[in-house]
Amino acid sequence: METSAVGGTIVTPARKRRKFPGTALTWLAVTPFAAWAVTRVAGLERGSLPTQLMTATPYAAAGSLIPLLIAAVGRKRAATAVALLATTALGFAVLPRALGTAEATAGRPLKVMTINMLFGRADVQTIMKLVRDFGPDVLSTQELTPGAVADLDAAGLKELMPHRVLQDEWSAGGSGLYSKHPVQPLWDLMPPVGHQMPAALISLPGGKPIEFIDAHPFPPLGPQVTNWNEALAAFPSASTDRVRVLAGDFNASLDHAAMRGLLARGYKDAADQVGAGLIPTWPANKRVPPIITIDHVLVDERAGVREVSVHDVPGTDHRAVLAELTVPV
- Tens of pLDDT, residue by residue over 260-278, are 999 999 999 999 999 999 9
Distances 122 to 60, 116, 214, 324 between C-alpha atoms, Å: 32, 8, 17, 23
Q: How far is Cα 262 from Cα 296, in angstroms, rounded to an integer?
A: 12
How open is the CA angle 139-140-141, to the nearest 5 degrees?
Answer: 115
Q: Please report the pLDDT score of residue 10 as a whole number.
A: 63
More confident residue, 103 or 265: 265
Helix (H) or strand (E) holding 8: none
Q: If you average pLDDT over residues 118-124, what whole number do you get?
A: 98
* pLDDT of amino acid 329: 87
Of 12-21, 28-37, 42-51, 152-161, least confident by mean pLDDT is 12-21
What integer pLDDT is reported at residue 60 of this predicted model? Answer: 98
Sheet holding 267-269, edge to edge: 183-185, 199-202, 210-215, 244-249, 295-300, 267-269
In the structure, what pLDDT confidence band is assigned to residue 104 with cuts at 50, 70 and 90? low
pLDDT at 19 over 60: no
Mean pLDDT of the chain: 94
Q: Does the bond joining 283 to the residue before it have cis omega, within 30 degrees of 0?
A: yes
Does position 221 have pLDDT exceeding 60, yes or no? yes
Please report, to the nearest 10 degrees, the dihedral formed by the alpha carbons of residues 282, 283, 289, 293 taken in order.
-10
Q: 31 exposed, middle or buried (CB, 10 Å; 0-12, 13-18, 19+)? A: middle
Which residue intervals of the chain are DSSP H helices? 20-42, 48-53, 57-63, 65-73, 77-94, 96-99, 124-134, 146-154, 157-160, 224-234, 257-263, 270-273
pLDDT of 259 over the 80 cut: yes
Question: Given its phi and psi angles, is residue 194 left (phi above 0), alpha (psi -120 to 50 degrees) or beta?
Answer: left
Residues 270 and 308: beta-carbon distance below 8 Å = yes
Tell me the C-alpha distance between 94 and 176, whole Å: 32
Residue 154 in this model has a pLDDT that exceeds 80: yes
325 close to 301: Cβ distance less than 8 angstroms: no
Burial 257-271 (b: 16+ CB within 10 A, else e): bbbbebbeebbbbbb
Is 182 in contact with 204 (CB distance < 8 Å)? no
